[in-house]
Amino acid sequence: RDNIRNFGGDPDQVTLFGVSAGAISANMHLLSPLSRGLFKRAILQSGSLYSATFMSSTEEAIRVSNDFASTLGCASSIDEDMLSHPALVVNCLRSKSADAILRAHIAFSRGKIISMMPVHGDEFMPKSHLLQIERGQIQEGEVLIGTNADEGSLFLFLGFPHLYPLKTTQSVSREDTEKVARILLHALHSPVPYDVFDVYLDAEERAPALSEDDLLRKRLIDIVGDLFFVCPSVHFAHTYTRHGNRVFYYSFEHRTESSIWGHWMGVPHSDEVQYVFGMPVRLPQHYTDEEARFSERIMDMWVSFAKTGNPSTEDVHWDEFEKNNGTYLSLRPRRYTTGSQLRRDRCQYWKRHLKYPPLDSAGARALENYPGKVMWLVDNVVSTISKFWTRVKSYSKKFL
């Protein structure tokens, strides 16, 4: 806000903007009292604070900080750590070059998705993010939020390349599909509902063009994507709207014709970013003319939202998300269609099993009394995502 004029911006029209973990970070700023008045709107692409949480307990944060500081020689003993002598450790870290810190962090975070996570119970996030959202203790304004059609596919490829190679043609059994689902959910400390495979793998609806192998892959993609991205984002949209704020929801459903991802991966996590930043316009040799025009429309809508709080343009009308019908816009070239209740039945299923808030009085008291220890409303939904890949590899070797 204080510097945006130097870049031609308006201090009163700042929009925070993030993808995946960046979306969760932007969502946190909507809650933090330290961020009030510094921005007006937020764009959350494939991430919300109801997603697999990136919050850590105070104890875990101290342990991770000490481990990292020790790699740089800044926390060498129990008598000189982040808990007993935080100023000494921080000053030591500040004395290191950026290159040294970067190299240490690369080594420290090897095999992890995210090695350091925020905590609540401090000045930036005084209370549990769940409690604040449910009580409406959140910055008022407009939010543009959405997800992609096949959010879970990227994680199948990254976690299980032997079963889900980039250009796969191999057969996948139901047994393998169930094992992978259990491994993924267990690695993220999520409960595995007893009927999840009945709901997804035995679902009556199916695309007629899909083979049995393709159907199994698609169902597993949906389990991961719905649990960690789509349904948390939809739930945040409902909650934020309930408190009188304006929300615009999208479902990005276009697969790039020259996509580097395997066909089975569909429209994976973060695939919309190339269109938001105009890559088809800047590098037309890698895209079709239609995709270049599609990118221009996407950029127009994002800019319109940042300027006015409404993403509608002269070419595309975008209805506001409403708490009763959950209106959203499907984004495809030349096909901007309005839908309602995105994945309603499946999101209701996860809502029942994960027990999303609203909180009862006992739950609210627990979150208030133990801000550094409560990380999710449901125990064991997520402990720490930083150990994700280590756990995946461990369970993969054991069960697959």
Give 132: exposed, middle or buried? Use CB within 10 Å, 0-12, 13-18, 19+: buried
1-56+117-400 CATH fold: Rossmann fold (3.40.50)
SS3 115: coil
- For residue 197 the two structure tokens come to 């495979």
Write down the pLDDT at residue 365. Answer: 44
Read off the pTM.
Answer: 0.81
Kindly give the confidence (pLDDT) of every residue in the chain, 400 residues in length, as a single tens digit, with 9 standing for 90 and above: 999 999 999 999 999 999 998 999 999 999 999 999 999 999 999 999 887 555 677 777 888 888 899 999 998 766 667 778 889 999 999 999 999 999 998 888 765 656 777 777 788 888 888 788 888 889 999 999 999 999 999 999 988 888 899 887 678 889 989 988 888 776 665 667 878 888 888 766 655 667 888 889 999 999 999 998 999 999 999 999 999 999 999 999 999 999 999 999 999 999 999 999 999 999 999 999 999 999 999 999 999 999 999 999 999 999 999 888 999 999 999 889 999 999 999 999 988 877 665 444 444 444 344 333 333 322 332 333 334 445 445 545 554 5
For residues 96 and 142, give the distance between their C-alpha atoms in angstroms, rounded to a whole number.
41
User: What are the C-alpha distances in Å from 326 to residues 20, 109, 198?
Assistant: 21, 39, 26
- Residue 196 CA to residue 123 CA, distance in Å, equals 39
pLDDT of residue 388: 44
Per-residue model confidence (pLDDT) at position 276 = 98
Beta strands in 74-172 (DSSP E): 142-148
Please tell me the predicted confidence (pLDDT) of residue 357: 52
pLDDT on residue 339: 97
Please, what sign has the CA dihedral across residues 142, 148, 152, 157? negative
Please provide the size of the chain in residues. Answer: 400
Write out the catalytic residue numbers.
20, 151, 269
Q: Specify the pLDDT at position 300.
A: 98
Domain assignments of the chain as residue spans, ordered by start = 1-56+117-400, 58-108
What does the pLDDT read at residue 375? 31
d(CA 332, CA 397): 40
At residue 128, the pLDDT reads: 81
Give the pLDDT confidence score for residue 222 in this predicted structure.
95
Tell which residue, 229, 205, 231, has the closest CA to residue 218. 205
